[in-house]
Structure formats: structure tokens, C-alpha cells
Amino acid sequence: MQDLKPSYIKTFAKDDLELSTKDLRVLYGGKVQKLFDASLQFKEHTITALIGASGSGKSTFLRSLNRMNDRVAKINGEIWFHGLDVNQPNINVYELRKNIGMVFQRPNPFPKSIRENIVYALKADGQNDKNELDRIVEESLRAAALWDEVKDKLDKSALALSGGQQQRLCIARALAVKPEVLLLDEPASALDPVSTSKLEDTLKQLRSRYTMIMVTHNMQQASRISDYTAFFHLGHVIEYNSTAEIFTNPKGKITEDYIQGSFG
């Protein structure tokens, strides 16, 4: 039987925290437990990579943070977004997801124009000042490093963009509602190397203003862009530390084996 006790879990000063979980447990179908007592703290304006083999619980953890698992799973334990208790039943989940946005593995733009993709949520909220919406379109596309490529075709279909451009559009769409946190579940796995590199540059530029938590299977990617890394194994968080420490000086044997490519 493998020892699944954490070998090291980094913590931060309370004032530096953006988001944290305490003893987070997730059970699918009400009974099958797939995440065990995950206690992780995320520091403001950093990028944290979540790594681990397929099925280790990375997406389960990530999706719990903005209540995307509500319909399929039972969530126990605590999630704190600053002073807000995310698991409280009376939380406005729509508002929560404006603060904690999400970008998925497959780019999923709406079948609408580039512009409409970005202003969709704002219009739904009753914003209709055209100048202000135009300003947000430009600001969001610039932040997602897509403006120069699309500024002359804002009213063309988003589906005509390349996969990499679509993924950056999905980031721009998420940024338009002014989130503090971006959750990214393998955002580059469907992209070619050039698009991946552009996406990584984009995320690095966003780090000064946003807190990002990103699942990745790509160890080089984790070490290139993340500040901190959490290693998941069979639903347990085994080790959490600065990315440099995790990759050069892992404390746990399972972490070391995973990083060296012995499994997963």
C-alpha cells in the first residue's frame, strides 16, 4: 500500500491569499470519493500548476473552486475566496464565476462574432453603452494578446479563428467580466507548439493582475510558467511547493517518480 500522506504542503501568510481550500473532499454520485482532504492555499498574482497522472483528481479539484461540480458531486470541506465561503448554499454562483473564471481544455467560443463573444456576459448583465463595450472588447483582446490578429475582423465569426486564437479569445471572454482568478484546465493541450507558446506568453503577462491555477500534463510547461506546483496522486495532494523546489528537489518519493516520468 502506497503512503498517500502529503510529503510537503506549502502555506502562505493570510494577507497574501487569494483562494484556499481546507480538507476539501469530493464524492461523485454522493458516495464514490475521488478527492481526499485537499488543503491548498493560492497566493495572489501567481500561477500555480496542478500536475499528476490521468484520473488523479486535478479537474475534480479545479472545478470545485467555482462550483462547476455542483450538479455531479458532493463537496465537503472548505473553500475560501478571500472572506467568502464558496460552498455556502446561498451563494450567487453566477456572480462567483465572474470573479473566478474558467478556461477549458477545448476552446469553446460561442458561434457568434468575436465581438459578441466578449460582450455576451456584459450585455446579459444589462450593459449597453456601445463605447464602453467597444473599450472592453479592445482591452480584453489586448490582455489576451489577440488584438493585433483580430482587430480588423471583430464582426466575423469566432469559429473562423484557429484553435490557438480561439483559446486566447476564450481567455479574453473570461477577462471581460473582470475576474480575479482564472482556472485553466489543460488550456494548451489542443494547441500546436507555436500557439502553445503564445498562450504561455499571454498567461505570463496576465500574472501581474490575476491569480491563475492551471492543470497541465506538460512538465516543461509547468516549469516554464508556474510559480508553484501541486502534485496530485490518486485523489490526494502529495506535495505542494515552489515550482523550482518540486522539480529540482521533490520531497516525496512518488513526486520524484512522477516528475522523472516513471508513471502517469
Ligand X SMILES: Nc1ncnc2c1ncn2[C@@H]1O[C@H](COP(=O)(O)OP(=O)(O)OP(=O)(O)O)[C@@H](O)[C@H]1O
CA angle 26, 28, 33 (to 5 degrees): 55
Q: Which is nearer to ligand X, 61 or 117 (CB)?
A: 61
Q: What is the DSSP string of 221-253?
A: HHHHH-SEEEEEETTEEEEEEEHHHHHHS-SSH
Asked if 69 touches Mg ion (CB under 5 A), the answer is no
Q: Which amino acid is at 238?
A: I
Asked if 41 touches Mg ion (CB under 5 A), the answer is no
Residue 186, C-beta contacts closer than 8 angstroms, at least 6 positions apart: 105, 215, 216, 217
Interface positions with ligand X (CB under 6 A): 28, 34, 52, 54-60, 72
Asked if 117 touches Mg ion (CB under 5 A), the answer is no
Asked if 56 touches Mg ion (CB under 5 A), the answer is no
Q: Which is nearer to ligand X, 34 or 74 (CB)?
A: 34
Q: Which of the stretches 22-30, 57-65, 150-158, 164-172 binds Mg ion when contact is defined by CB under 5 A? A: 57-65
Q: Which of the stretches 35-43, 56-64, 109-117, 203-211 binds Mg ion when contact is defined by CB under 5 A? A: 56-64
Q: Which is nearer to ligand X, 19 or 35 (CB)?
A: 35
Dig out the grid coordinates for 163 from the structure. Answer: 484553435
Q: Which is nearer to Mg ion, 186 or 239 (CB)?
A: 186
Place of cell 455531479: 72
Q: How far is the CB of 194 from ligand X (least distance, A)?
A: 24
Q: Which residue in 59, 167, 202, 243 binds Mg ion (CB under 5 A)? A: 59
Q: How far is the CB of 223 from Mg ion (least distance, A)?
A: 20
Characterize the bridge pairing of strands 8-9 and 236-242.
Answer: parallel
Q: Which is nearer to ligand X, 63 or 115 (CB)?
A: 63
3-state secondary structure of 137: helix
Place of cell 464524492: 27
3-state secondary structure of 211: strand
**Where do contacts with Mg ion occur on this chain (CB under 5 A)?**
59
